[in-house]
Amino acid sequence: MQNTSKQYDAVVEECRSLFIKKMSDYGSAWRILRLPSLTDQIFIKAQRIRQLQENTERKVDEGEKSEFIGIINYSIMALIQLELGVVEQPDLNTDEASLLYDKHSKITKELMENKNHDYGEAWRDMRISSLTDLILQKLLRVKQIEDNQGKTIVSEGIDANYQDMINYAIFALIHHSELDS
């Protein structure tokens, strides 16, 4: 588990670094996005990963890694939107957004540690393609919850689904790093 924690932190740091650089370039323009728009952005990334995994020919020279990073960052943005609500104009500076990013990545890591303890690191035996499929399944669940105006009867809420997507994407990136080394 100790190795998982360090690997997890390394992935989050890489994603956070990109998030901060994009904040410097674009500010917090993403704050105007409604949750369904963020969900659709994540869906596009997950669909692209699945296509990359199924097709041998690529016409754009970007691999799965950047798409998994996008899933993580858009999911954290969605968690921030759930907490703060949508705004009409960008309202966060880089420091404020970074603190919120850190808050939600910490909460999500705690969830991973609890589940990882109970499941005995079962994700390590999973294929990256299975993690992609689980992300897509979570996205379809989120879309259904959004269509139900956020109401669920017995299921987890939208936030838990975004957290699971973050964790699955991080696991996929850890798998990729182990394949590369």
Q: pLDDT digits over 120-142, tens only?
A: 899 999 999 999 999 999 999 99
Model confidence pLDDT, tens digit, residues 31-51: 999 999 999 999 999 999 999
- Decide if pLDDT at 2 tops 70: no
pLDDT at 140: 96
Closest of 125, 173, 139 to residue 43, by C-alpha: 139
* Cα(134)–Cα(171) distance, integer angstroms: 12
Contact 132, 43 (CB under 8 A): no
User: What is the pLDDT of the chain when averaged over all its residues?
Assistant: 94
Task: Pick 33 or 150 by higher pLDDT.
Answer: 33
